Structure 1
Amino acid sequence: MFRINTINGNNRMSTQDLLESINAALAQGETEFEIEASGQHDIGGPLWHPEGKPLKFYVKNAGQRVGSMCLPGTEIIVEGSSSADVGWLNAGGRIVVKGDGGDTTAHCAAAGTIYVGGRAGTRSGSLMKHDPLYEAPEFWVLKNVGSFSFEFMGGGIAVVCGYDSQQFESVLGDRACTGMVGGIVYFRGQAKGISAKDTKILKLTPDDIAYLDGRLDDFLTAIGRKEIRSELSKWNEWQKVVPLSYDERPKKANTDIYSFRTESWVPDSIFGDVCDDDFAVIGAIATGEYRRRVPVWENGKYSAPCEFNCTASIPSQQRFNLLRDGKIEEAYRLVLEYTPFPGSVCGAVCPNLCMDDCTRKNVDISAQIGKLGRYSAEAMLPHAETKTGKKVAVIGGGAAGLTAAWQLARLGHTVTVFEADEKVGGKMEQVIPRSRLPQETLAREIARIAEMGVALKTGVTVDREKFAAIKASHDAVVVTTGGHTTRVIPWPGHERIIKGLDFLKAVNKGQKPAIGKKVIVIGCGNSGMDVAVGAYGLGAEQVTCIDVQRPAAFEEEMTHVKKLGGEILWPVFTKEVTGEGIVTQDGKLIKGDTVIIAIGESPDLSFMPDGVDLERGCLKPAGDYSVAPGIFTAGDTIRPGRLVDAIGAGRQAALAADAYLKGAGFTAAQKIVIPAERLSTAYFKKCHSCDVPEAKSDYTRCISCGTCRDCHMCLKSCPENAITRTVGVNGAEYTSDPSKCIGCGICAGICPCGVWNMETNAEPLVFYR
């Protein structure tokens, strides 16, 4: 609690010094204040904590405008009474005055709550208003208010309890509610002199009673008067004042504003020398160029979280939309535009980053995106309609290389893949255990690439001479040889270590490399877990995996190893490798017959021509994935990564090579994730995990973030029927008619996908000369 006493001897602190002291304390992180004031103004005004924490003020002897322009998150409690302008222009704070409030209490309040435990003065609640984008302001008074209260009130809720006010002819004072056009004033007791030209007095409805009954306890608790609850709860003693509707108000004859301005006022308007007045009469609700905001249909402008997180940029929300529309084959084919490995990677070994931030997780659990790839096993895209006559070589037949080859062939180029191994597939074929990636799935997807027209040449070792020959006979080359050199740290005894990549390759080829009963695996990434599983498959009795840092492997991979009996230890720092195992830096011995290392791999780029930039043993491409004219690269030759990273980079490298062959420039597309606040999940029913449908039917739960799901909600909810739906070659499209649209924003508020956005109307108004 930060305490300030504004009287020091015979000296009184000025308002400016007090406010500066409060601001300085806020900057230091203070959140609660006890202020012994002496009439200073503006205490607890527009303040905020640097970390957004709520603020609380206990104030005695406050001056004018306590809580003026108060912001959300601020609470002010005034002991005793306060002078004029309490909560003037309140913008969201909670203000409690336990005594009387002065004149113009809650004047111009636009949000928040103001409680007065006594009486309030003249013009209290005048010009209260309500922006429909925010909660309505509330103003409660225990006793009565002075004259002219609620004058020109435009919105909000006022409650005058009339306690201890029987002596007054009107608990609302004289000439209350003059010019009132919005809001509600609830009152208990007598009320005379209320403007009959602007308002009417009604009995309470059940909804009114429910509101008052639900809020009364909070009010009485705040002002410390809970004992009078039963007295104030006699609802037959209450009434309410509401404004007359336009049709109910008395009309004057000859109210033609146009005629008045053109015939009776000033010819050519009062500003006719500087502007051209069109004499248009703009209503409170405008259409066309006079709207304050206009709706914009931004279908596809933003990426859904699934698409944004996927490094291959697969728009899964579009797949679900196609399934929703019954376009099943089209949905299964869509993924092939981004990856040729929907079954091998998306549906088998990918960590499915697409599901990590799925908006559906805010309702129940993520949409089943990963498994969706398995349904594309039999899908096929059409061949290029025309051939370009250009020849492209891809060196390296792993995920990045085969993806690049697939994309280039689809673009009409003649593509040949050169692979050093006896089979293409890279680490998918050579390293990943068959238990994680079924051989038949990978074989089927590689066959699909070949069927697209890609020539696959295996057993081709590329050195500098071979590379020069390939480059000379092709119009472009894409280098995707991956990382196949296992990193080994030269500890004493490192010659005893088996390289993890060599071990996994041997296992996948059906060989049975010799290992002991106790195996130590250095490295707890996914490769390390694959090594551990492979060791158990070869008869190891105990596998211990160690790392210097928190294991980077997926949780399910580590869980699998632990279920097999494996142990995962970290942090462990190796000092020496001996015949008995590993000696750590702190002198402990981890026993093991066999030590296998899996801490990463680096590429062998010795075949690359002189002049190509290398950085830490990897290629350093330009923004268009090129390392030299006509030479492009992707995957682990740039940096080690996941298979989905290699697929995404392979596609981009293919698009860059295609642009080069066409003599065009290339810039990788930038993804922007849709702001979460634009999405509405309230329209989706929560389901239990046991009710989640299989992936191909999960379109019922997909929110389709950033992409129109054609739900018709905007169409049906527009109050002016301004929205039109048309169906074109790209599916359903929605437009808003400016001549009907009033800029209310209902379309943007109700759209679950966040496709509609409200922007400031930028249409110029030609007025001044």
Structure 2
Amino acid sequence: MFRINTIDGNNRMSTQDLLESINAALAQGETEFHIEASGQHDIGGPLWHPEGKPLTFHVTNAGQRVGAMCLPGTEIIVEGSASADVGWLNAGGRIVVKGDGGDTTAHCAAAGTIYIGGRAGTRSGSLMKHDPLYEAPEFWVLKNVSSFAFEFMGGGIAVVCGYDSEQFESVLGDRACTGMVGGIVYFRGKAGGISVKDTKILQLTATDIAYLDGKMEDFLTAIGQPELRGLLSNWREWRKAVPLSYEERPKKANTDIYSFRTKTWVPDSIFSDVCYDDFSVIGAIATDVDRRRVPVWENGKYSAPCEFNCTASIPSQRRFNLLREGKIEEAYKLVLEYTPFPGSVCGAVCPNLCMDECTRKTVDISAQIGKLGRYSADFELPKDQIKTGKRVAVIGGGAAGLTAAWQLARLGHEVAVFEAHEKAGGKMEQVIPRSRLPQETLRKEIERIAAMGVSFKNGVVVDKELFVSIKNNHDAVVLATGAHITKIFPWPGCEGITKGLDFLKAVNRGEKPVVGKQVVVIGCGNSGMDVAVGAYGAGAEQVTCIDVQQPAAFEEEMEHVKGLGGEILWPVFTKEITEQGVITQEGNLIKADTVIIAIGEIPDLTFLPEPLEVDRGCLKPASDYSVAPGIFVAGDIVRPGRLVDAIGAGGQAAMAVNAYLNGESYNPAQKNKIPAKRMSIAYFKKCHSCEMPEANSDYTRCISCGTCRDCHMCLKSCPENAITRIVQENGTEYVSDPAKCIGCGICAGICPCGIWNMESNDEPIRFYR
């Protein structure tokens, strides 16, 4: 039992402190409360026990809103009278006031029971209502109520017993039941002030008497007046007030608004013809301009996660859609519009960032985008028959330079690639192990670039003098020489370190570089893993790879090295290189006959005749990829990165060059990834790894994020048949008919690809003239 006295000497507890104390006790499991109040508000409001046990409140000196919003399972007993708003918005509690209730007692009550053992004030019982899903609210008063009682009553039962009220002209007060539309008011005594425009007074039926007789004892016992049962049970003294039906209510003349506006208003006056509307009523379900929302078919507006993550911006979801439509050759050729290396890079050495955030991963396993590239290795694109007459030189025949050359040749420009090595391909040819990138695949893809019209000048080392000549004889130049100078820290003994890039180039030339039995590789990126594998191939017995941070190499590359017997250690900070091996900052020795470093490279810029802006050893271009008028850059010469990064940069540089040659400005397009919440993956069945189809059949699993997969789901689901499928030469389009569409949003909700979007209807409605 929880007892509290809200007066301590001359100090009165605030309402907030009292309610917090009650809540704290309730949280501890209390169910019975004895409160000596001093006018605090809201005692016994919306409370419930954590275990659903009933709650009982015994209250003295209650303030306003005692039992306001009271819930089922709560009983409140007030000794003496209470202030205004007793049981306001009562939602199911049992409230007993043994004295008078103030103004607006039972105001807006929707459920539960309120007993008043005296009189009730103004507007008591007003706005009472009844939800048919719950028991009707009940409001009993022993004596009488004041003015405006039961105003706008919409439901429930009120009982005014009229005890000790013979002196009043009306036990219901003045203007009772004004606006009443529902419920019943039982009363005993005179009712002179009741609204006859809204109610009618009737004699009791047997059902009425049964109700009153069945509840009277409980009421009188609760308020402590059981001896009045006999006096109040003379049912001939009772009547009831009920609302008039619509048919019974008096009607006003000229209630036809259309007739009033067209016949009564004075023509050409300030009130006539002020609106365009045709006196129609806009329903809850509307079409055309009256819809609150309209569907928008946003096919291709957003990038799929695969396209967004791919730095070459390859739209793989479109490739899968073409395969789904049976357009096999078109699907395989699509990737060539973005990269000339679908087999060498996408299908072999790329980390496949496209698959990292594939939406299909939220269902089971990413769509097989990487392997899909291999199917495009042998396809060709037609040459552009229109030649621009513009000559472009590309210095550097790696991934970035060859991509730029490929795209520029496709645009009709005459392109020449200057490559210092005897073979084009850059690090793909010189550094990446043949085991990871098959030589035959790379050869075919470089031949495809040549077939597009690109001329190769291999074995040509560009110096300052040759660069000036190249620049003077071409309309634009693309610098894509890559980064081939290995980074080495000036540790003591660093002169004995083997450069990882030189080591890998020697391996790819078919040589067998000399290494000791114990090899330490500094750097645990993919290049470090390639060096480790090459060291084992050159005769090393033990290879240890170290790094200052968590290794950045692909997991499969590290597992390969570990499978050969290699060890990967981090974090390890190098202090010195000695004949015995690597000494760490902690003073430990990692034994090594050979130390190879592979922590990255920087570009060689000595061939450039004039100083250009440099940042951390790399060229710093403007937003249009230019470093000087007519000179553009791409790839590792700007920022060392992955091959796919170089391909993306080469394509962007080509577009920038093309804009420059056409006298236009170039602003790279911005990609926006489709919001994940727009996708509806519930329609896709989970597939286990053993059930995976071949990559070129994986269109059954591709969700086609942001790009319509022509599944017809919106067409079949529209309840108003407002959507039409239109087949065009360049694809299929879905259109919504405004005259039929009701803006329900089913199309947007059911679209698995996130194509349909619901927007606010901003079409203005002409209302006033």
- Using the size of structure 1 for normalisation, the TM-score is 0.73
The answer on 1:723 being equivalent to 2:723 is yes
Pairing 1:475-490 to 2, within 5 Å after superposition = 475-490=475-490
What is the one-letter code of the residue matched to 1:563? G
Separation (CA, whole Å) in 2 of partners of 1:343 and 1:6 = 84
Q: CA deviation at 1:335?
A: 0.4
The answer on 1:608 being equivalent to 2:608 is yes
| Kept after mapping to 2: 8 A contact 1:14/1:40 | yes
What is the one-letter code of the residue matched to 1:592? A
Q: Could you say which residue in structure 1 is the equivalent of 2:666?
A: 666
Separation (CA, whole Å) in 2 of partners of 1:438 and 1:8 = 90
- Secondary structure of 1:417's counterpart equals strand
1:554-583: CA deviations, max 9, x gaps? 111111111111100011111110111001
Q: Could you say which residue in structure 2 is the equivalent of 1:360?
A: 360
Q: Could you say which residue in structure 2 is the equivalent of 1:509?
A: 509
What is the one-letter code of the residue matched to 2:399? A
Separation (CA, whole Å) in 2 of partners of 1:179 and 1:482 = 85
Q: CA deviation at 1:279?
A: 2.8
Structure 1: stretches of 5+ with no match in the other structure: 23-31, 42-59, 68-74, 88-95, 107-115, 126-140, 166-171, 181-253
| Kept after mapping to 1: 8 A contact 2:634/2:653 | yes
Q: Could you say which residue in structure 2 is the equivalent of 1:228?
A: none
Say if 1:15 and 1:297 are closer, same or farther in 2 by CA, change over 3 A.
Answer: farther
**Aligned residues with identical type, % of pairs:** 69
Separation (CA, whole Å) in 1 of partners of 2:576 and 2:683 = 61
- Secondary structure of 1:160's counterpart equals coil
Q: Could you say which residue in structure 2 is the equivalent of 1:582?
A: 582
Separation (CA, whole Å) in 1 of partners of 2:455 and 2:663 = 25
Separation (CA, whole Å) in 2 of partners of 1:437 and 1:377 = 13
Separation (CA, whole Å) in 1 of partners of 2:722 and 2:257 = 28
Q: Could you say which residue in structure 2 is the equivalent of 1:160?
A: 134
Q: CA deviation at 1:735?
A: 1.1
1:711-749: CA deviations, max 9, x gaps? 111111111111111011221101111111111111100
Q: CA deviation at 1:284?
A: 1.5
Q: CA deviation at 1:8?
A: 8.6
Separation (CA, whole Å) in 2 of partners of 1:266 and 1:34 = 72
Separation (CA, whole Å) in 2 of partners of 1:6 and 1:653 = 82
1:167-210: CA deviations, max 9, x gaps? xxxxx8359xx999xxxxxxxxxxxxxxxxxxxxxxxxxxxxxx
Separation (CA, whole Å) in 1 of partners of 2:269 and 2:307 = 56
Separation (CA, whole Å) in 2 of partners of 1:736 and 1:66 = 50
- Secondary structure of 1:606's counterpart equals coil
The answer on 1:336 being equivalent to 2:336 is yes
Structure 1 vs Structure 2 CA RMSD: 3.8
Residues paired across the two proteins, number: 613
Q: Could you say which residue in structure 2 is the equivalent of 1:250?
A: none
Q: Could you say which residue in structure 1 is the equivalent of 2:712?
A: 712
Pairing partner for 1:104 from 81, 89, 95: 89
Q: CA deviation at 1:510?
A: 0.2
Q: Could you say which residue in structure 2 is the equivalent of 1:210?
A: none
Separation (CA, whole Å) in 2 of partners of 1:144 and 1:724 = 60
Q: Could you say which residue in structure 1 is the equivalent of 2:748?
A: 748
What is the one-letter code of the residue matched to 1:99? T
Separation (CA, whole Å) in 1 of partners of 2:390 and 2:40 = 82
Pairing 1:358-757 to 2, within 5 Å after superposition = 358-757=358-757
- Secondary structure of 1:301's counterpart equals coil
The answer on 1:173 being equivalent to 2:156 is yes
| Kept after mapping to 2: 8 A contact 1:574/1:583 | yes
| Kept after mapping to 2: 8 A contact 1:40/1:62 | no
Q: CA deviation at 1:98?
A: 4.4
Q: Could you say which residue in structure 1 is the equivalent of 2:12?
A: 11
Separation (CA, whole Å) in 2 of partners of 1:681 and 1:453 = 45
- Asked which structure has the greater CA Rg, the reply is 2
What is the one-letter code of the residue matched to 2:448? R
1:286-323: CA deviations, max 9, x gaps? 11111111111111110000000000000000001001
Separation (CA, whole Å) in 2 of partners of 1:543 and 1:745 = 61
The answer on 1:308 being equivalent to 2:321 is no
- Secondary structure of 2:681's counterpart equals coil
Separation (CA, whole Å) in 2 of partners of 1:565 and 1:285 = 71
Q: CA deviation at 1:765?
A: 1.9
What is the one-letter code of the residue matched to 2:12? N
Q: Could you say which residue in structure 2 is the equivalent of 1:25?
A: none
Structure 2: stretches of 5+ with no match in the other structure: 58-64, 77-86, 97-105, 116-124, 140-154, 159-179, 183-253
Separation (CA, whole Å) in 2 of partners of 1:764 and 1:17 = 54
Q: CA deviation at 1:12?
A: 3.9
| Kept after mapping to 1: 8 A contact 2:137/2:156 | no
Q: CA deviation at 1:453?
A: 0.7
Separation (CA, whole Å) in 1 of partners of 2:6 and 2:568 = 66
Q: CA deviation at 1:764?
A: 1.3
Separation (CA, whole Å) in 2 of partners of 1:261 and 1:650 = 71
Q: Could you say which residue in structure 1 is the equivalent of 2:231?
A: none
| Kept after mapping to 1: 8 A contact 2:518/2:592 | yes
Separation (CA, whole Å) in 2 of partners of 1:77 and 1:495 = 83
Say if 1:257 and 1:6 are closer, same or farther in 2 by CA, change over 3 A.
Answer: farther
Separation (CA, whole Å) in 2 of partners of 1:501 and 1:617 = 17
- Secondary structure of 1:759's counterpart equals strand
Separation (CA, whole Å) in 2 of partners of 1:16 and 1:289 = 54
1:148-176: CA deviations, max 9, x gaps? 7766x7xxxx85379999xxxxxx8359x
Q: Could you say which residue in structure 1 is the equivalent of 2:217?
A: none
Separation (CA, whole Å) in 2 of partners of 1:329 and 1:17 = 78
Q: CA deviation at 1:768?
A: 3.7
Say if 1:299 and 1:77 are closer, same or farther in 2 by CA, change over 3 A.
Answer: farther
Separation (CA, whole Å) in 2 of partners of 1:511 and 1:480 = 27
1:303-361: CA deviations, max 9, x gaps? 00000000000000000100110001000000000000111111111111101111111
Say if 1:79 and 1:748 are closer, same or farther in 2 by CA, change over 3 A.
Answer: farther
Q: Could you say which residue in structure 1 is the equivalent of 2:145?
A: none
Separation (CA, whole Å) in 2 of partners of 1:144 and 1:714 = 54
1:598-626: CA deviations, max 9, x gaps? 00000001112314211111111111100
What is the one-letter code of the residue matched to 2:381? L
Q: CA deviation at 1:280?
A: 3.5
What is the one-letter code of the residue matched to 1:744? C
Pairing 1:27-176 to 2, within 5 Å after superposition = 61=43, 63=45, 86=69, 98-99=73-74, 102-104=87-89, 123=108, 159-160=133-134, 173-174=156-157
What is the one-letter code of the residue matched to 2:688? H
- Secondary structure of 1:535's counterpart equals helix
| Kept after mapping to 2: 8 A contact 1:144/1:162 | no
1:629-654: CA deviations, max 9, x gaps? 11000110111100000000000000
Separation (CA, whole Å) in 2 of partners of 1:385 and 1:256 = 75
- Using the size of structure 2 for normalisation, the TM-score is 0.73
| Kept after mapping to 2: 8 A contact 1:258/1:281 | no
- Secondary structure of 1:392's counterpart equals strand
Q: Could you say which residue in structure 2 is the equivalent of 1:288?
A: 288
What is the one-letter code of the residue matched to 1:160? Y
